[in-house]
Structure 1
Amino acid sequence: MDLKLSTLLCLTLLFSTILSPALSELCNPKDKKVLLQIKKAFNDPYALSSWNPKTDCCDWYSVTCDSTTNRVNSLTLFSGGLSGQIPPQVGDLPYLELLQFHKQPNLTGPIQPSIAKLKSLKELRLSWTNISGSVPDFLSQLKNLTFLELSFNNLSGSIPSSLSQLPNLDALHLDRNKLTGHIPKSFGEFHGSVPELYLSHNQLSGNIPTSLAKLDFNRIDFSRNKLEGDASMIFGLNKTAQIVDLSRNLLEFNLSKVEFSKSLTSLDLNHNKITGSIPVGLTQLDLQFLNVSYNRLCGQIPVGGKLQSFDSSAYIHNRCLCGAPLPSCT
């Protein structure tokens, strides 16, 4: 009897040793196969050395899995080490909610079309890389996107108007690329939430669409482009904009006639062709930052609020602006 029991215990221990790795691995085998294909496509880089086929992919560097389904839901590859194009296999992770390639200077080529298959994707961050080509129209198919960041790349061409069809978008970063053309009129017709808009450091031209007057943007950065004409539709007493940067463009409008919401904390209009005077309404705001330098403003800087807390660099190089912190009006 003792011999039988001893044999049974030995067999149990043997089988448990053989089976335990398989039982303990949570990673879905389909997801694991795709990740290993991605690693191979990048020529087995050192940055992905933890992607060992003998270990659980849910424990791999840059990979996270859903705690309930154990499907891969996040892939965040940043800080160098990868070269070449984004592999098409990234589109074969159907439960992916976050995809990020950040600070990968050797990442090249276009934005991978297979990304359009990632219908569960909530955040797409492709930033500080050397990817090129256009901002693809297919991104508008990713209806669950809440955050789209394509900044600090070499993207060119125009901005697709279809991006306004993303119903859940909270932030759109297209800044620091080589984008040309106009800001789409459709950006005044976002379906659902109104995203923060970051379009700075491009080569965008033409007028800011008047359709933007219909929406209430919390943050707008259109700085360092070639935008012309009126930008007053962005502002308004009933809006809740906090940060607006329109600096270093070719904008021309009368600042005297603009009404600002009390929510505004940062306003940068420097290096434009803006005329008129500084409205008294700005004294009622809790401004943390203001710069209206290098324009065509005239008249006395209103006294009150935060306007005298900024040094002269916020006001210099205007046509005939005067009063503290500039020299007094004569």
Structure 2
Amino acid sequence: MWATEGLTHRYPTKVLAELVTTCPQYCGHCTRMDLVGNSTPKIDKIRFTLKPETRVDAILGYLRATPTVRDVVVSGGDIANMPWPRVEAFVNALLTIDSIRDIRLASKALVGLPQHWADDQVVFGIERLARTANARGVQLALHTHANVAQQVTSSVCAAAKRLLEAGLRDIRNQAVLLRTVNDSPRALLDLCFALLDEAAVMPYYVYMCDMIPFSEHWRTSLTHAQTLQLDIMGYLPGFATPRIVCDVPLAGKMWVHQVYYYDRIRGISYWSKNFRTESEAADSEALSRSYEFFDPIHALPSEGRQWWVEHGDDGPTITAVPHCRTKAS
């Protein structure tokens, strides 16, 4: 869904600007493993072909010509792997575009490499950007990625404190739901309270682990995610209760209780959406089509596992799925 190389325009008012293809910490559940890092014998990575300056100019040109975009996520890879002057120059350029009202810097490195974000060059740069953003009425925030409470170390807390004091509006956390790692109510609540109480970081999303190659052992079922969402309700302030979401291919982020039909035996959930991407502008069925997401085989009942043994090579052939926004079956 690149509108131009490195710029994903997936939602009507939001874009993702991928500025770099490397990261300080390569996660096996990375949602961008098709781009991030070097190719491997099993996975051939997408490569940027434009020079960095040309790619950035094209991104900024698209944003200036597309005033419906108000929200830009600046990411990669991880912008901690990009020289800070280049990051600051890009964000400053975004701040000159009147239609942009929210800028979110995305960096796992606040958790994996906190000394980068505590470095004076970066902190003073954030202070300059925050001052400009505030003067222009733009919200500037940082999104990071901690999955368990143990990752919220004293170094992470110290770096977060410096960034907030420098003028960031918020630091928000996007966790990934990982089987045996954080897939219990206690683990999620411990994480959320550590973020809130120790680092002043807002729990934001908990993503179901994507259907990423070689990550099946970490994935949970939609049923389990729905149960976890209900289990953590009431223990956290409402504004700090993370939504558990499923990133449905071609449909986007969906709250786990938004599913409109769910075959729990075969582990197939069906979703709908209410917006078109730029690439779907002429697609008359984009808003009436069902979008599928699949539970991991290990999470299915024996009947469902047997069905996939018998039919897996053919793919799911499910008919008469009601397309409506009623409670999931």
TM-score normalised per structure 2: 0.27
TM-score normalised per structure 1: 0.27
**More RCO (CA 8 Å, sep 6+):** 2
Instruction: Name the structure with the higher strand share.
Output: 1
Mark the structure with the bigger radius of gyration.
Answer: 1
